[in-house]
Amino acid sequence: MSDFKPAPIPNGRKEIDGNIYMRDGKGGLQPIENIAARDLLQDETTRKIIGHAIPLSDQVARFKEHTFEDIGAFEAILAQEYNATFGGKKGNKTLMTVDGLYKVEVRVADHIDFGPELQIAKQLVDECLNEWSAESRPEIRSIVTRAFNTDKEGQINRAEVFMLLRLEISDARWQEAMRAIKDAIRVVGSKTYVRCSKRDSHDAAWQAITIDLAKA
């Protein structure tokens, strides 16, 4: 880390007629002597962290770009030499060193949303629950409640919805509801992820090479 150079961040100070000012959150100029010492310390700490974050973010962006370029070049060589594609149909692929101690995984994750058929499914599921006795199948009621309750962003709990599809229930309306859920599923996009891993020996567990700050 000795070669790492923080980005230059303005100190936020402005000199006017020999006096030093800083802008507040509304854009107004405040004399620096009127600003609490703790706020000045917070300002300095924030600018220092941001100064390190900006070049680090640029490094990660360059790493991602170079990674896909390198994988693309590798795939092009395979296609030229062997007239074959590399990886699965969906785009997932794994590259590994000869000694089996390092690997790079490319994973394509679909973004799932639900169409209006989901509301039909909910109505049918509610009809089933209303006819079943209150004491019967409490675990199913719990899953249904979690599945159709939206989170703070108004998003349906996808994992719980897919759990409903795995339940084996012979009721005709329930089956119709599950068909409606399947018809409601929409793939609205995808995102490609790269995971790098290492291990000390062939029988050791894989360790992620962490790039995500939240998981470091």
The string of pLDDT tens digits covering residues 156-198 is 788 888 888 988 888 888 999 999 999 999 988 888 888 999 9
Give the phi and the psi of residue 131 in degrees, each rounded to 5. -85, -30
- Please give the structure tokens belonging to residue 160: 């719980």
Q: What is the mean pLDDT of residues 140-169?
A: 78
Categorize the per-residue pLDDT at 41 as very low, low, confident or very high, splitting at 50, 70 and 90: very high
Predicted local distance difference test score (pLDDT) of residue 212: 75
Q: How far apart are the first and last CA of the chain?
A: 16
- Please give the structure tokens belonging to residue 127: 């009809």
The pTM of the whole model exceeds 0.75: no
Residue 93 has pLDDT above 70, yes or no: yes
Q: Which of 68-77, 98-107, 125-134, 203-212 has the lowest mean pLDDT?
A: 125-134
For residues 35-50, one letter each, b for 16 or more C-beta atoms within 10 angstroms of the residue's C-beta and e for the rest, the string is: eeeeeeeeeeeeeeee
Categorize the per-residue pLDDT at 14 as very low, low, confident or very high, splitting at 50, 70 and 90: very high
Predicted local distance difference test score (pLDDT) of residue 154: 60
Predicted local distance difference test score (pLDDT) of residue 152: 52
Predicted local distance difference test score (pLDDT) of residue 153: 54
Residue 59 has pLDDT above 60, yes or no: yes
Predicted local distance difference test score (pLDDT) of residue 28: 93
How buried is residue 135: exposed, middle or buried, by Cβ count under 10 Å (0-12/13-18/19+)? exposed
In the chain, the percentage of residues whose pLDDT exceeds 70 is: 91
Q: Hey, what amino acid is at 178?
A: M
Q: Do 93 and 84 form a contact (C-beta atoms < 8 A)?
A: no
- State the residue for tokens 């020996």: 201
Predicted local distance difference test score (pLDDT) of residue 1: 46
Which H or E run contains 189?
strand 185-198
Residue 110 has pLDDT above 50, yes or no: yes
